[in-house]
Structure formats: C-alpha cells, structure tokens
Amino acid sequence: LEPIKDQFQLSVFPSVILGGVCIGTGIGLMLRYETSTGGTDLLAQLLSKAFSLNIGIVILIIDGFIITAGLPLLGPKTFLFSCSTIFIGGMITSLITKKE
C-alpha cells in the first residue's frame, strides 16, 4: 500500500515509544480500577493476585513469551521493535498500577 500524501507519518523508533506508552497507559488505567481487556491481561491479573507480583512485570513476561514464540515469523528487526514496545508498555503499566 502506498501512503496517502499529506498524511502524518512517524518512523519506527518514535512509533515504538508512542505505541508502548499508549498501550501501557490504557492497560494500566484499566487494571488500576480492577477491569481487564481479557486474554493475557486477565491471566496476568489472576497471576499477579495469586502470587503478589507486579502486574506490569507479569504482562511483560507473558507478552515476551508470545513474541519470542513468533520470532521465526517476525524476523530479528521486527522482534526487537516488538520487544521494545512491550517493555515500554509493561513499565508504564507497572508505574500506573503501583500501589502507594
């Protein structure tokens, strides 16, 4: 697909950062108020309560396993960007859900 002219575009690195921040903020706010999107977030929420772990770190680990399983399909460059995005998202989620 060709990009539409006069359309705003970001390069990969700023997209990784912005994507991680947006995902981490959204998931963090939902989990802070005891809601979930389901799927891996729900699994992370259950594991975090059962073992008294930080939910952001649990999400990071689960998503890391999923991305690692897809490494042969993704290729090294996409794998690195995906890992960076889930790392940033996990850290933001961790900060937002942190109990004071």
Asked if 42 and 36 count as a contact pair (C-beta separation under 8 A), the reply is yes
Considering the domain boundaries, does residue 27 fall inside one?
Answer: no
pTM: 0.83
| Band (80; pLDDT cuts 50, 70, 90) | very high
Q: Average of pLDDT values for 82-93?
A: 94
Considering the domain boundaries, does residue 32 fall inside one?
Answer: no
| Band (96; pLDDT cuts 50, 70, 90) | very high
Considering the domain boundaries, does residue 9 fall inside one?
Answer: no
Q: Which domain holds residue 45?
A: 16-21+39-97
Give me the number of domains the chain comprises.
Answer: 1
48-57 long-range CB contacts below 8 Å, 24 or more apart?
54/94, 54/97, 54/98, 55/31, 55/93, 55/94, 55/97, 56/24, 56/28, 56/90, 56/91, 56/92, 56/93, 56/94, 56/95, 56/96, 56/97, 57/90, 57/94
pLDDT of residue 4: 63
Lowest pLDDT segment from 8-12, 28-32, 72-76, 90-94? 8-12
